[in-house]
Chains A and B, each alone.
Chain A
Amino acid sequence: MDTRTAQPVMTTERDLRLDLFRGIALWLIFLDHIPSNIVAWITIRNYGFSDATEIFIFISGYTAAFVYGRAMRERGFVIAGARVYKRAWQIYIAHVFLFTIYLAQIAYVARGFQNPLYAEEMGILDFLQQPDVTIVEALLLKFKPANMDVLPLYIVLLLVFPPALWLLLRWPTAALATSAVLYAAAWEFGWNLSAYPSGHWFFNPFAWQLLFVFGAWCALGGAERLGGLLRSRITLSFAVLYLLFGFFVTMTWYFPRLEYLFMPKWLSDQMYPISKTNLDVLRFAHFLALAAVTVYFVPRTWPGLASPLLRPAILCGQHSLEIFCIGVFLSFAAHFAKVEFSGGTAMQIAVSLIGIALMIAAAWLIAWYKRVEGRKAAARPQAVQTDLAGGGA
């Protein structure tokens, strides 16, 4: 933190709201990743179309443009591009590390699981029969176990980010338009990357890039351009109305009677399916509405951002790659604890709270280490600093 504020930055200092909401998104992703978790009822996916993934990808695009955009202006395309690729490599390593843990967990489960009721579900363990194929497909990012889809998306987005960033710095509008066209083309022509053993990527990079590029566009001056729009009460009322609509529609999923009584058939024909894989327009719009309402009520200078209560979330958001990985690991561990000891409500609440506490503790430790190291290396060139601030994932 203090090292960062001391740096000369492109427009102004880093927007703490980004760290805050990314930190919260990381907690929500963790809660959603624990299967059958009662605490996950508080997460936003239950009250509207979009979920924490949208927040996470948008903010990641924003911070990536913020950090690497400055690098590209100051040191040129090649150096900035190399830094982006270094970051992508780090994320790849993190992904492979998580996959290793996943393999260990699956292999453990496979050993003791013989319940005849679940002969079919045990099929998920089949890939252990061919570790050679499975591991190679995993290294190629084609085999992605459940809940391990976000990092591969992020890696692919970073791999094409340097030219996108170059365009964003020169003709931001053209870059955003290109991104939107790619999104539309992906929908029109059904583009997606293929997966192993069959099917496609759970997060279609051709669709989700729109959110990432939009985040980057906002970071490079787009947010100021939208300023008037975002301060208007008309925008606010539209956003609130749309959020209420999303809330009502999600309620019909839990109370089918509501749908039967109030949901016109033509509307549901239009709306469904709401594709998460292809970042449905309803989801994207829901995220925009959430963001508009948030920006209206939480200005950049909001004093609450300095409050110690929000400090844990901000800390987690500032070290998002590490905390994301720890979250995925903890959700495996939480599932393991539920299966081995008890799946009851008390256990669900306990693993959720302990998990978030561990994420905060880890973020605090990483921040402390970077601060200590940062002081020692104060004389060294800024390159190291910006990379850390990349705070990517």
Chain B
Amino acid sequence: MKTIALVAALLCGWAGSVLAQVPEHCDLPGYLLFSDSELRRVAGAVRDHKRLDIAVLGTASSLLAGAEGASSAYPARLQAALARRLPGVVVNVVSLAKSRQTTADMTRELKKLLAEMKPALVLWQTGTFDAIRGVDPVQFRETLEDGVADLQAGGADVVLINMQYSPRTESMIHIGAYADSMRAVARERDVPLFDRLSLMRYWNDVGAFNFYAAGRDRALAVKVHDCLGRALAALIVDAAKLEEASGQAGQ
């Protein structure tokens, strides 16, 4: 009897861990995804055109390497999550992320991006590479603020995405000043900040993920990006007030 119970428990555990590879529900604390800033252009695009074009600007932490990298990275996962949450709306997320770009490098592409793609929303992930390169934080802040202003003037809503929580390198990369700058720019330009840093730290603290892992574990990265995509979708739906419009939808 005991053996059977043990085997059953092990099987359940095994099944559970297999299912956990693509979690149905990531733990998304509302207080970390709450924003006072509204995404009016997103709301307009969804309401008037039933279409949502999103561009992702960013660096290596918006990418995953490998054959299925593009479909596993958070921009693709965001598209999937938004499509689930907004039935009847065409959601198109284009990732323009490239590794080793400073914020100043990325601002050079803004005009072209606005002209060619006309996105309703630009997700701008940055900060990490600037911190690695030691770009002057004051300069970083000014560049980012000007860039966000340009995007807004060009007709796009903006969401800023800050750094990943990376416990193995946190004593080596001084991200504090850059994270503060991003928070300040978000407040200044009245755009939501997707606080990836706090969110991942929260997942680490509640034991959802072990970010101390050093090994070549791809499954972890895939899971984390899936959850980041869902979290972004939650933030966008909330900040554009799409929930009331389309009725309620699952995560």
Contact = CB atoms under 8 A, between A and B. Distances in A.
Interface in B155-177: 164, 166-174, 177
B173 A276 contact: no
Given A116-B64, A121-B169, A199-B134, 16 more contacts: A36-B170, A36-B201, A115-B216, A116-B217, A117-B221, A118-B166, A120-B129, A146-B172, A146-B173, A196-B134, A260-B36, A272-B184, A273-B180, A273-B184, A277-B138, A343-B167
A335 to B, nearest CB: 4
Interface in A247-273: 256, 259-260, 268-269, 272-273
A198 interface: yes
Interface of B: 36, 59-61, 63-66, 99-100, 128-129, 132-138, 141, 164, 166-174, 177, 180-181, 184, 187-188, 201, 204, 211-218, 220-221, 224
B171 A273 contact: no
19 contacts: A35-B170, A109-B172, A112-B214, A113-B169, A115-B215, A116-B65, A117-B164, A118-B61, A118-B168, A123-B129, A124-B132, A124-B173, A197-B133, A198-B135, A200-B136, A256-B36, A273-B184, A277-B136, A332-B171
Nearest to B102: A198
Contacts of B180: 273
Nearest to A259: B187
Contacts of B137: 273, 275, 277
Counting chain B CB atoms within 10 Å of each CB, the highest count among A199, A202, A277 belongs to: A199
Contacts of A114: 214-216
B168 A339 contact: yes
A158 B36 CA distance: 48
A119 interface: yes
Interface in A99-116: 106, 109, 112-116
A145 interface: yes
A33 B172 CA distance: 11
Contacts of A338: 167
A343 B204 CA distance: 10
A156 interface: no
A318 interface: no
A122 B129 CA distance: 10
B225 to A, nearest CB: 8
Contact of A121 (B36, B65, B173): B173
Contacts of A63: none
Contacts of A124: 132, 169, 172-173
Contacts of B166: 118, 121
A146 B217 CA distance: 28
A115 B214 contact: yes
Given A106-B172, A124-B173, A119 B99 contact: yes
A335 B172 CA distance: 10
Nearest to A122: B169
Given A116-B216, A116-B218, A199 B136 contact: yes
Contact of B65 (A106, A119, A272): A119
**Interface size for chain A: under 10, 10 to 19, 20 to 34, or 35 or more residues?**
35 or more
Contacts of A36: 167, 170, 201
With a 10 A CB-CB cut-off, give which of B164, B167, B224 has the most chain A CB atoms.
B167
Contacts of A260: 36
B60 A195 contact: no
B60 A123 contact: yes
A147 interface: yes
Contacts of B164: 117-118, 120-121
B221 A115 contact: yes
A278 B99 CA distance: 30
B242 to A, nearest CB: 22
A240 to B, nearest CB: 26
A331 interface: yes
Given A114-B215, A117-B224, A199-B133, A276 B172 contact: no
B141 A120 contact: no
B193 to A, nearest CB: 10
A106 B134 CA distance: 17
Contact of A123 (B100, B188, B217): B100
A276 B181 CA distance: 12
Nearest to A331: B171
A344 to B, nearest CB: 9
B187 A113 contact: no
Contacts of A200: 136
A199 B135 contact: yes
B171 A35 contact: yes
Nearest to B169: A121
A120 B171 contact: no
Contact of A339 (B61, B100, B187, B212): B212
A38 B36 CA distance: 28
Contacts of B65: 116, 119
A289 to B, nearest CB: 22
B224 A119 contact: no
Contacts of A198: 133-135
Per CB-CB distance, the 6 closest pairs between chain A and chain B, nearest first, are: A120-B60, A199-B134, A35-B170, A117-B221, A335-B171, A120-B61
A273 B139 CA distance: 11
Given A195-B134, A273-B181, A202 B170 contact: no
